[in-house]
């Protein structure tokens, strides 16, 4: 692997949260890379630091948290070192993020079309457009994520949409400026399994169409196995193991990864077990 | 071999409609048909799994069985009694034998009570005077893998997995014949899930109670259940043994549900059945077969004619015109 194929390289990232007499090392010397056009799966249990790592990339950590050290090289530029103003021209346009809970991430008193258009208007450096044009971009983005009847749906408020449709809106908003890197933080965790299948299919399709690179954060090893090319396993703020998806799933070497894999409920237990309340 | 095992719980034509007011002060306009004509039975000592997506009525079914929610109609025969016909006092006596474990171990334990009183409360409620209540509580905690020193502590001092163990100890206190386990592992991390599932299995082996195990996750339900019922929009669409449901599902919804489960094995990325569209609202479910709006094999007939849950051999049943 040459470093030229990486779109993002994170080196020795450290993020901590502080209380009056305590430091919690949420992300403790973490390094990983995302290859261009590929998906990195970041997997771990609650509190392992996977979301904090992702939010540190886009400087979304507020007090009492602080990114203490590290390099975040996005196409060769260190995002940790640039000014807030420079970062703002990257966040949401060249790197964007999809969150777990679409109901809390969307503004309940604004129609979804305006919220997507807002993302376009916030980035005049990408395309300087009028409000009307921004709205047209928003409707097109909704069409891209396969929302039926986007002209009409754009005028809906979040509560009028189902969970799956709201997550599609979030994805439309993230992609409307055509970013190169998408960070999806548990994008399907709040959804039912048949809707999850739709969203995963959509993400794979969008990745192919737009040549997106992706960081997919999930606690679900099944989702990671389906979507990712490379995997980083996090536990207690550290990356305990990285590798290609086939390495991790077929020959995990770290005991934590092995334990995690063994704990996943798999279909098929009814065929192998014997003594079930017979 | 199961013919000899008597039936513990028999649910017939259970219905629960929730009234919905359209606007402030207006007359009742419609009903959410949360549970609409559901029938199944649970044998003594077995686990019957109820699986389905959000809003399919699985939780309402579990609660209606215990009369924590009053069903509108139907019959629930438990251990020889018709629960829906019992008076308050009779029901209360019967409730010793049927307990529930809830999904959220943070919400289901009173934060202002010590563990001693949480786990010991069933004895008080049911006026079982035991001089050594503390000993019983300590014993129960031990059974669920906790130290008796936990007795003097409060719920917030425990992790999610430990709290779920406390909830299980409380459910076990009166040695029930049936435990309704409503998504008992959904709020937990996978490594903790595996521990709790194993604990539930072990307790069943030890005490022989039956579980009505409710979950949205087919792999989790499969791990514990001997038989499984699949629900969609308030109806049971398929019932069979765990192996039948998971390995040769006959109803197209069950097939899609199983196909949608992500498999932790990158070698098996196969073409899955992806259902189009969303689950329709139970306020106004589709005519005919409720699944026809998303069904990959629906025909004209499915729009008009509702398929009944019918036996298709081998002790399994499916509600689809085309299942055989």
| Closest CA of chain A from B230, distance in Å | 14
How far apart are the C-alpha atoms of B90 and A57, rounded to whole Å? 61
β-bridge mates for residue B17, sequence order? B33
Kindly state whether A265 is in contact with chain B, defined as any CB-CB distance less than 8 angstroms: yes
How far apart are the C-alpha atoms of A102 and A198, rounded to whole Å? 16
Question: Cβ contacts (< 8 Å) between B264 and chain A: which residues?
Answer: 221-222, 224-225, 249, 261, 264, 266
Which among B175, B285, B182 is positioned nearest to B234, based on CA atoms?
A: B285
The token pair at A254 is: 């770290």
Res A36 pLDDT > 70: yes
- State which residues of chain B have pLDDT below 50: 1
| Closest CA of chain B from A195, distance in Å | 7
Q: Residue B320 — φ and ψ, nearest 5°?
A: -150, 140
User: Helix or strand or coil: residue A113?
Assistant: helix
Q: How does pLDDT run across A126-174, given as a tens digit for each residue?
A: 888 999 999 999 999 999 999 999 999 999 999 999 889 999 999 999 9
CA B278 to chain centre: 23
β-bridge mates for residue A231, sequence order? A41, A243
β-bridge mates for residue B9, sequence order? B42, B78
From the CA atom positions of chain A, what is the Rg in Å?
Answer: 20
Question: Cβ contacts (< 8 Å) between A200 and chain B: which residues?
Answer: 262
Q: What pLDDT is recorded for position B201?
A: 95
**Is B246 in contact with A192 (Cβ distance < 8 A)?**
no
Q: What pLDDT is recorded for position B114?
A: 95
Question: Cβ contacts (< 8 Å) between B45 and chain A: which residues?
Answer: 277
| Closest CA of chain B from A3, distance in Å | 25
Question: Cβ contacts (< 8 Å) between B278 and chain A: which residues?
Answer: 162, 164-165, 195
Q: Residue A23 — φ and ψ, nearest 5°?
A: -125, 125
**Is B190 in contact with A219 (Cβ distance < 8 A)?**
yes
**Is B278 in contact with A276 (Cβ distance < 8 A)?**
no
β-bridge mates for residue A19, sequence order? A22
**Is A277 in contact with B261 (Cβ distance < 8 A)?**
no
Kindly state whether A236 is in contact with chain B, defined as any CB-CB distance less than 8 angstroms: no
**Is B275 in contact with A198 (Cβ distance < 8 A)?**
yes
**Is B191 in contact with A196 (Cβ distance < 8 A)?**
no
Q: Which of A249, A259, A271 sits opposite B265 (nearest CB)?
A: A249
Q: How does pLDDT run across B93-134, given as a tens digit for each residue?
A: 999 999 999 988 888 999 999 999 999 999 988 888 777 888
Kindly state whether A12 is in contact with chain B, defined as any CB-CB distance less than 8 angstroms: no
How far apart are the C-alpha atoms of A214 and A228, rounded to whole Å? 9
User: Helix or strand or coil: residue A192?
Assistant: coil
**Is A225 in contact with B242 (Cβ distance < 8 A)?**
no
CA A55 to chain centre: 9
β-bridge mates for residue B198, sequence order? none
Res A3 pLDDT > 80: no
How far apart are the C-alpha atoms of A129 and A121, rounded to whole Å? 7
Question: Cβ contacts (< 8 Å) between A169 and chain B: which residues?
Answer: none
**Is A225 in contact with B220 (Cβ distance < 8 A)?**
no
ipTM: 0.85
Res A276 pLDDT > 70: no
Question: Which residue in chain A has the smallest CA separation from B210?
Answer: A277
Q: Which of residues 153-212 of A touch B (CB under 8 A)?
A: 162, 164-165, 192-198, 200-201
Q: What pLDDT is recorded for position B27?
A: 62
Interface test with B, best of A166, A193, A234 (most B CBs within 10 A): A193
**Is A226 in contact with B193 (Cβ distance < 8 A)?**
no
Q: How does pLDDT run across B19-28, given as a tens digit for each residue?
A: 887 666 666 6
Q: Which of B46, B190, B261 sits opposite A260 (nearest CB)?
A: B190
Q: Which residues contact B61 (CB under 8 A, 6 or more apart)?
A: B11, B14, B16, B35, B38, B50, B214, B231
User: Percent of chain A scored above 70 by pLDDT?
Assistant: 96
DSSP A107: -
Question: Cβ contacts (< 8 Å) between B204 and chain A: which residues?
Answer: 277
Question: Which residue in chain B has the smallest CA separation from A273?
Answer: B223
How far apart are the C-alpha atoms of A128 and A131, rounded to whole Å? 10
pTM for this entry = 0.88
pLDDT band, very low/low/confident/very high, at A278 (cuts 50, 70, 90): very low
| Closest CA of chain B from A250, distance in Å | 8
**Is B46 in contact with A223 (Cβ distance < 8 A)?**
no
Q: What pLDDT is recorded for position A100?
A: 84
Question: Cβ contacts (< 8 Å) between A199 and chain B: which residues?
Answer: none
Cβ-based contacts under 8 A for chains A and B:
131
**Is B267 in contact with A246 (Cβ distance < 8 A)?**
yes
**Is B222 in contact with A269 (Cβ distance < 8 A)?**
yes
In this structure, are residues B48 and B40 in contact, taking their beta carbons and an 8 Å threshold? Answer: yes
| Closest CA of chain B from A57, distance in Å | 25
Q: At what angle do helices A163-175 and A193-210 cross, to 10 degrees?
A: 20
């Amino acid at each position: 692997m040459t470093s030229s194929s990486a779109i993002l390289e994170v080196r020795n990232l450290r993020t901590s949260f502080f209380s009056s007499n305590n430091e919690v090392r949420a992300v403790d010397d973490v390094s990983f890379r995302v290859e261009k056009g590929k998906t990195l799966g970041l997997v771990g249990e609650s509190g392992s630091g996977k979301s904090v790592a992702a939010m540190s990339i886009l400087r979304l950590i507020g007090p009492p948290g602080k990114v203490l050290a590290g390099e975040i090289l996005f196409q060769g530029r260190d995002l940790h070192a640039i000014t807030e103003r420079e970062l703002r021209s990257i966040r949401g346009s060249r790197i964007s993020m999809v969150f777990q809970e679409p109901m809390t991430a969307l503004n309940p008193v604004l129609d979804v079309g305006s919220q997507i258009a807002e993302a376009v208007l916030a980035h005049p450096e990408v395309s300087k457009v009028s409000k009307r044009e921004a709205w047209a971009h928003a409707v097109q983005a909704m069409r891209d994520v396969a929302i039926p009847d986007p002209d009409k749906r754009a005028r809906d408020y979040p509560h009028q949409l189902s969970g799956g449709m709201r997550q599609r809106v979030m994805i439309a908003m993230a992609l409307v400026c055509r970013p190169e890197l998408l960070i999806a933080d548990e994008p399907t965790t709040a959804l039912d399994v048949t809707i999850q299948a739709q969203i995963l299919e959509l993400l794979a399709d969008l990745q192919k169409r737009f040549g997106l690179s992706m960081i997919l954060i999930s606690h679900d090893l099944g989702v990671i196995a389906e979507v990712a090319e490379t995997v980083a396993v996090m536990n207690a703020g550290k990356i305990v193991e990285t590798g290609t998806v086939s390495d991790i799933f077929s020959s995990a070497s770290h005991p934590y990864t092995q334990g995690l894999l063994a704990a996943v409920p798999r279909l098929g237990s009814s065929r192998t077990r014997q003594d079930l309340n017979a | 071999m199961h013919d000899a095992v008597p039936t513990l719980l028999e649910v017939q034509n259970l219905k629960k409609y929730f009234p919905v007011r359209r606007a402030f002060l207006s007359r009742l306009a419609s009903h959410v048909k949360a549970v609409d004509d559901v029938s199944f039975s649970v044998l003594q000592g077995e686990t019957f799994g109820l699986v389905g997506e959000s809003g399919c009525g699985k939780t309402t079914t579990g609660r209606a069985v215990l009369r924590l929610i009053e069903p509108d109609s139907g019959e629930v025969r438990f251990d020889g009694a018709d629960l829906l016909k019992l008076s308050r006092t009779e029901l209360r006596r019967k409730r010793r034998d049927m307990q529930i474990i809830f999904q959220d171990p943070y919400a289901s334990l009173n934060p202002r009570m010590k563990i001693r009183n949480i786990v010991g409360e069933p004895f008080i409620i049911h006026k079982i005077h035991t001089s050594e209540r503390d000993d019983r509580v300590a014993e129960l905690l031990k059974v669920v893998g906790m130290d008796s020193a936990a007795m003097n502590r409060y719920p917030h001092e425990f992790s999610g997995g430990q709290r779920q163990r406390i909830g299980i100890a409380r459910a076990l206190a009166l040695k029930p014949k049936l435990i309704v386990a409503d998504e008992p592992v959904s709020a937990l991390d996978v490594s903790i899930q595996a521990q709790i599932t194993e604990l539930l299995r072990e307790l069943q082996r030890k005490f022989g109670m039956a579980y009505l195990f409710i979950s949205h996750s087919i792999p989790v339900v499969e791990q514990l259940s001997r038989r499984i019922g699949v629900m969609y929009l308030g109806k049971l669409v398929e019932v069979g043994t765990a192996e039948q449901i998971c390995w040769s599902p006959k109803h197209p919804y069950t097939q899609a549900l199983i196909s949608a489960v992500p498999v932790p094995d990158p070698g098996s990325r196969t073409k899955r059945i992806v259902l189009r569209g969303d689950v329709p609202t139970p306020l106004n479910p589709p005519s005919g077969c409720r699944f026809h709006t998303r069904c990959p094999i629906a025909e004209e007939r499915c729009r008009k004619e509702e398929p009944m849950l019918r036996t298709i051999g081998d002790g399994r049943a499916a509600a689809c015109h085309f299942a055989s």
